[in-house]
Structure 1
Amino acid sequence: MTMHFLWSRPDMSDDRKSAVALSSVFASAAMTVMKLAVGLMTGSLGVLSEAAHSLLDMGAAILTWFAVRIGDQPADERHPYGHGKVESVSALIETGLLFVTAAWIVKEAVTRLMAPAVEVETTWWSVGVIVASIIIDIGRSRALSKVAKETGSQALEADALHFSSDILSSTAVLIGLGLVWLGWPKGDAVAALGVAAFVVLAGWRLGSRTIDVLVDAAPQGIAERVEEVAAKVPGVARVDAVRARPAGPTVFAEVVVKVGRTMHLEQVEALRRAVIERLKSDLPEVQPMVIAEPLTLDDESITETVRGLAATRGLAVHHVGVAAMDGHPHVSFDLEVDESLTIAAAHAIATTLEDELKAELGAEVTIDSHIDPRRKEVFTDAQPAGHRQAEIRAALAGLADGLVDKVHHLEVQEREDGLYVSFHCLFPDDVPIGQAHQATARLEHRLRDTVPGIARVVVHAEPISEGA
């Protein structure tokens, strides 16, 4: 009994993600133009490196804008897990651009440091444009971080990281301009190296997390949280395994839970749905697929073991009895098999089931099984047999004496395999069901011995308070 259920990824489309990403494009473009103009006028490598950094940020912001628009598209036939990893691909491209930019800045800085003389001019507008960029970076970083947290967008998170690193690198440029103003021109190149260091650090952080997503590395601690939540659902014996993989803001989790093997399929289905609903409620970012597998529970009775083991093999048993013989358990049951089977085939099925029960219950258990043929056809042709009804009614009048209080609703049909007889009988309301069953069974046997040609007898026992 293994059951599966997969929830489709919900539509995560959010206009805020697209709007905040587009605003970052315009902000990056404005800062790129300002820094480039001032850098060319002053000859400051620090400012020019910041212009290159802002140009990179603009390209990254454009990538982010496209990524969030594509990533929010719902799952389809070719992308059953959605398009969330488009954001991760975008972030990976941004990571590569960060390292390329850092390499260029380092090369130019080393060249200037090795040069005998460097001319750098410190002006009020060079300082002003850096201060303005810091203020813009602070605003963009906060806006992007807020929407990234609310929507779980990795692309927006990467963009926010870019802007936050720009704040630190711009501060390093200010320090470099200050060193130039104090009379050390090469301080600008040193500041550019500081910018490169911040760029490399931002790229390393972003790249590590992006690669984790692309190689399906489970988010830290998510498996433990899923296991903890699923284990709290009543009916779950234990959580056997949890496998999680991220796809954009969504984490797809495959959860294997163990349930009592005596549970009906409807109960198992209800339990799986309960686990899914609890996970979605407690961990909204998780989209679970729950697999339920049977487990022998410690408190499972011998009767439940017999029924459960038979059911898992597609067999039906009834009249399961358990008794103690010479200090050891003795099990008996009726095994239903197809009536078309030969005695050899039916006996082989019974023997296999008995051997499996002994392996599970212990070798000291003794087992008796009775093979019952099960008809293929449930319904057959039937005609009223009114001419036999008076005969059977008269027989029941004498046979029921001392067993049941009253026989009524008698019906007799002529079927292809013989007579079908059904009737109702009354018992006092407080009679135990076991006693009533014994009485109806004895009445059925008496009727079969008295009236020839009976193929089937159905006796419906009911309390006097409900009977006619």
Structure 2
Amino acid sequence: MTLAMTASQSASQEKKRVALSSVAAGFFLTAFKLLIGLWTGSLGILSEAAHSGLDLVAALITYFAVRISDKPADRDHTYGHGKVENFSALVETLLLLITCGWIFYEAGRRLLTGEVEIEVNFWSFFVISTAIIIDFSRSQALMRAARKHHSQALEADALHFKTDIWSSTVVLFGLLFTTLHFPVADAISATIVAVIVVYVSVQLARRTIDALMDRVDPGLVDRIRGEVMHLEGVAGVEKIRARQSGPHIFVDMVVNVPREVPFQAADELIDVVEDRIRAVVPNSDVVVHMEPVPSRRETLVDRVLFVARDASVALVPVTGEPTHLFHARIHHVHVYRLGGPREMRPGLDGHRYHATLHVECSEDMGFAEAHLLSGNIEKKIKAEVPEIGSVSIRINKRENAVLDVTDTTASQTAMVEAIRGLVLHDPKVRRCDNILILDSGGKMHVSMTCGFDGNLDLGVLEDALTSLELSIYSSFASISDITITPVPEQR
């Protein structure tokens, strides 16, 4: 059993325990008030009994709502069962309003006819005083649990008990004025109780309907946006949506990430975003969609590369088989600023640019399919990078399989020494070792390690490596592939 599951079960048990204790308190207060109200004939106490009766029903509804809302999500309720708390609050509101209607009717009848005798005694004051003490205790316990576990059902129940305190206080004053020979005070106090309950009921109904309609505080969305936008690596935030279901808030959003960010780093950034939202919105379930976007730091070469990568995924029909999804690899991207009289489409900055790149296609693709894919890449580059006037694309076959080779280094001593001599002839090379010769059906694959000055410019280093490769290729026709690993050397 995980720690998260244990904490969730503990929270569920605490919510049920608090709700059940409220049921017991509601049952006791309802019975006590009803008994004393019938005995004394006080409409104020009877209205309080009716109010407590509805609180009892509300507490029962809350208890069962809490039990159901804590059930995990399933196939039929993918967002969980939290909405049952909001629905239960709506039912409680309707019950309260019905009772208020009866109280208004009975109070008006008594004020107009004055036909009811009220007996005020010790028990009249005792039951109301006891109710205030119990209501205060229950409202505090429920509100603590509601805030701790973000439960709207428990909060609504706490509000019910809190209104009982207000209304019981009003009834207490009504009984006091009745003992001072002002009997209409009882009906007036009952009316005031009903007004208080109506006000609270309307507020609760508004909150309940808002929750059922998925309304959230607009400030919540702004707060989430502000927190996420301050994170390093986030280029923008779009389509923030939030909805509440019981104690849970579901948040989904689109986060713009610079497209040069590697996928793994972007995935880690999304984890950081989700953690930050959970810190801002406790008890939230967060889904973040990542959208790669261009950044201001991109060069013209970067833009060509990223557009080509986006266009390198294609659905290509294969003869006799279902349509395949192919993803080509893009490399050797170069952009040239052209001079001279050649007529080409001008770029936006007045220059003329020509782009070249290599596209490695899967060996499952035929030449026609590969040409179609490269054509689409060219069109997209010209459309999205209008500075580019022309594009040249070389099609290569991507080797997906591991090559079976024979290590012939030991038997190719003469070739090894000849290669070493060619390489060391370049004054930029300080050493040459780890020469490896692999034979793949007559094609030689050569690799080696060469030492260079550690302060060498990368452009100079690249030119030196290219020069070495050309020298080796021109000297040995059997060599089809060369890999030189450069390492820095100190003087």
Aligned residue for 1:419? Answer: 444
The 5 A counterparts of 1:246-257 are 246-257=244-255
Q: Which amino acid aligns with 1:337?
A: C
Secondary structure of 1:129's aligned partner: helix
Change (3 A) 1:138 1:378: same
Decide whether the 8 Å contact of 2:224 with 2:280 is kept in 1.
no
Quote the Cα distance in structure 2 between the aligned partners of 1:12 and 1:94.
Answer: 26
1:74-106 deviations in whole A, cap 9, x for unaligned?
A: 444544433322322222221121112112222
Aligned residue for 2:435? Answer: 410
Decide whether the 8 Å contact of 1:336 with 1:373 is kept in 2.
yes
Change (3 A) 1:430 1:113: closer
What's the TM-score, normalizing by structure 2?
Answer: 0.84
Quote the Cα distance in structure 1 between the aligned partners of 2:391 and 2:374.
Answer: 10
1:236-274 deviations in whole A, cap 9, x for unaligned?
A: 011112100112222111021111112111011011001
Aligned residue for 1:320? Answer: 333
Quote the Cα distance in structure 2 between the aligned partners of 1:52 and 1:378.
Answer: 81
The 5 A counterparts of 1:205-354 are 205-313=203-311, 314=313, 315-326=328-339, 327-338=351-362, 341=365, 343-354=367-378
Secondary structure of 1:216's aligned partner: coil
Are positions 1:366 and 2:414 aligned together? no
Quote the Cα distance in structure 1 between the aligned partners of 2:271 and 2:488.
Answer: 39
Aligned residue for 2:380? Answer: 356
Quote the Cα distance in structure 1 between the aligned partners of 2:147 and 2:421.
Answer: 84
Quote the Cα distance in structure 2 between the aligned partners of 1:170 and 1:220.
Answer: 36
- Which of 8, 16, 21 aligns to 1:11? It is 8
Are positions 1:159 and 2:160 aligned together? no
**Residue 402 of structure 1: how far off its partner (Å):** 3.1
Of 433-442 and 249-258, more deviation after overlay is shown by 433-442
Aligned length: 459
- Which of 121, 126, 133 aligns to 1:135? It is 133
Change (3 A) 1:28 1:455: same
Quote the Cα distance in structure 1 between the aligned partners of 2:281 and 2:152.
Answer: 18
Quote the Cα distance in structure 2 between the aligned partners of 1:25 and 1:340.
Answer: 70
Change (3 A) 1:36 1:371: same
Aligned residue for 1:3? Answer: none
Q: Structure 2: 5+ residue runs without aligned partners?
A: 314-327, 340-350
Q: Which amino acid aligns with 1:300?
A: E
Of 425-434 and 139-148, more deviation after overlay is shown by 425-434
Aligned residue for 1:399? Answer: 422
Quote the Cα distance in structure 2 between the aligned partners of 1:387 and 1:44.
Answer: 111
Quote the Cα distance in structure 1 between the aligned partners of 2:467 and 2:6.
Answer: 61
The 5 A counterparts of 1:43-122 are 43-115=41-113, 117-122=115-120
Which structure has more relative contact order (CA 8 Å, sep 6+)? It is: 1
Are positions 1:189 and 2:202 aligned together? no
Q: Structure 1: 5+ residue runs without aligned partners?
A: 1-6
Aligned residue for 1:454? Answer: 479
Aligned residue for 2:320? Answer: none
What's the TM-score, normalizing by structure 1?
Answer: 0.88
Quote the Cα distance in structure 2 between the aligned partners of 1:252 and 1:10.
Answer: 20
Decide whether the 8 Å contact of 1:405 with 1:425 is kept in 2.
yes
Q: Which amino acid aligns with 1:11?
A: S
Secondary structure of 1:22's aligned partner: helix
